[in-house]
Structure formats: structure tokens, C-alpha cells
Amino acid sequence: MQHCTAATTRYLLAVPPNGKYRATIFLIHGFPDISMCWRYQIPTLLSLGLRVVAPDCIGYGRSEAPRFTPESAWRYGYRQCAKDMKELARQLGSSQVILGGHDWGGAVVYRIALYEPEFVTHLFSVCTPYWQPTKEFRSLEETVAMIPYFGYQLQLANGGLENILQTKEQIRQFLNAMYGGRTASGEAVVSTEKGILLEKLPGVKQTPLLSKTEMDYYVDEFSRTGLHGPMNWYRTRKQNWKEEQEFMDSSIEAPVLFIQATKDTALRPELARNIDRYLKNLTKCEVVASHWALWEAPEECNAHIKRWLEDVVFGRKEKL
């Protein structure tokens, strides 16, 4: 596995030991995360003969992180991400790819398949259900009024948090809190309704989901450009809505695997209640895990992904 750079995007590239691969899969991370979030899945994908590409999305890690302005907002939108991934694939010699996503990455892979249907042969999403484009725009405030446990997004979008949490130690505390770390007395430091509980943040302990070495790596990567870039993804709501209006009557034709995390308090199971009506070729399964299912239940996630790849992807068409 090696770090590579193409234009403004940094990505991990891994190829099976014999150098031959049956297809290319792009893995898109979520918030707050980086390409390394797929560390437990990449070996399984390589064993199936896949070439793996895991980018740091714009604003994250070693990729470009432009300041958010009315003029640069488009850089953080779904449509531009679709164009960026298609261009990266072209540079790597692939005209079609399989997609995998988690959290925001799950939202992204659905939209890439909607915007670029010829580019995506199959896709999977962990935690994130599909939602159909809507005719009416709903602001984040209106959405939170309907779904109170999305309230944390207001804190992330308003810009205040990134101005408070700037040092390496503060970023470490933020990441530990987001990844399920608690205080010495066992109190949570994140509320889905309110966001980061700043008064408790200094007392957060190391998350059990990452080793100290892994956390040090994450802190270094997030400290490169701070939290502004990652939080910009919460500021493109209206732009994304405008750009997807032409896809109101479109549907995703590619086969989809949706892995639901039953203990996810942000992307709760009830959000996926009706996705069957919008996805024509859906495989749905679940893991007993929190939002960080890729790390908390890697064997279970890998088993679902492997079975789907073998049965649905390669069972019908040996070579993509």
C-alpha cells in the first residue's frame, strides 16, 4: 500500500501481490475521517483480486483544503467529487469502478452513481442509507426540527468549533470524542442533538477503537490544515440540492449493498426504512455496531462485503 498524489488529491493505492486485478474499487471515507479508515477492509479486498484506491477527500488529510467561500463552495459538492473521482480513475487507467463509502462517503457514492451511471458498476455503503433528490429545499434548521438527532450538524456547520479547536491536543480531544471516547466517569462527550460538549472535552480519554499509534497518525493528518476543510462538507446543502434537481426522476441502476449499523445513533436504522423503493438491485444486511462499524466490527463488515462481491459482482460478470 502506498501514498500517491494526483493533482490536488492524495490517495492510498494497493494492488494484489501478483500485480493483477479483476476490477478497481474506490473507497470514500466520511467525517471526521481519512483514507486510513479502510485499513481493516483493504486486505480482504486485495484477497479478492481488487485494485484498491482510497482517497483523502477534499479538505482532509493530504489533499487540498481550500477555504470555504461562495466562490469555492462548489469544490466541496457531490457533483465535483464525482468529477474528481472519475478523473482520478481515468488517470489510473479505469473507465469503470466499484465504489464503497462510509458516512459522508456513503452519501457520496450514491450521488456519484446518480451523476455518472456509466462510471459505476456496483456500490456499497456502510451506515448511510440512500435518499432520493427532493423538489423542495429544506434548510439544515428545518431538517433538525424534523430529525432532532441531526442537531450536531448545526454546530459543525456554523464555523465556531473549528475556530476553538486548533492545537494538536485539542484536535486529539475532538477525534477521541467523535470516536466514542468518554470521560473518566464514563460520560459521553458528544451529543447527537447538541454536538461536542466543550465543557467535557478536556477530560475525554483515549477511544478504544484506535491504538495510540493510530490516533497519533490521525492527529498528524488532521493537524495539517485543521478542521475547517472537513466541516465544509456540512455547508453545501443548498448547492447539492440545486445540482441534483436534474436527477429528480433518475434512479440508481447499479447493484447496491447497504450495511446498516444497528447501534448508530446518528444514522439510525429508521432512516433506511424505505430505501428499497428507490434502489432496484439492493442487498441489505446489518452489523451490531456503532457508527464506527468499519473498526468496531471489521470481520462482520468484511464478511458482508466479501459475500456481496463474490455473489453479486463477480458471480454475474467475471471481468468488469
Q: ∠ at Cα 239 (233, 242), nearest 5°?
A: 145
Instruction: State the average pLDDT over residues 192-211.
Output: 96
Residue 39 pLDDT more than 50?
yes
Coil, strand or helix: which one is 231? helix
**Distance in angstroms (rounded) separating the CA atoms of residues 313 and 320:** 9
User: Which residues does the annotation mark as catalytic?
Assistant: 103, 291
Q: Using one digit for the tens of pLDDT, what is the confidence trace for 243-291?
A: 999 888 888 999 999 999 999 999 999 999 989 888 989 999 999 999 9
pTM of the model: 0.95
DSSP category for residue 52: E
Give the strand pairing for 50-55 and 9-14. Answer: antiparallel
In the chain the domains, ranked by start, together with CATH numbers, are: 2-316 (3.40.50.1820)
Residues 6+ apart with CB under 8 A from 273: none
pLDDT, tens only, 141-176: 999 999 999 999 999 999 889 999 999 999 999 999
Q: DSSP letter string over 110-128?
A: HHHHHH-TTTEEEEEEESP
* DSSP label at residue 312: I
> How far lies 203's CA from each of 173, 177, 198, in Å?
8, 10, 10
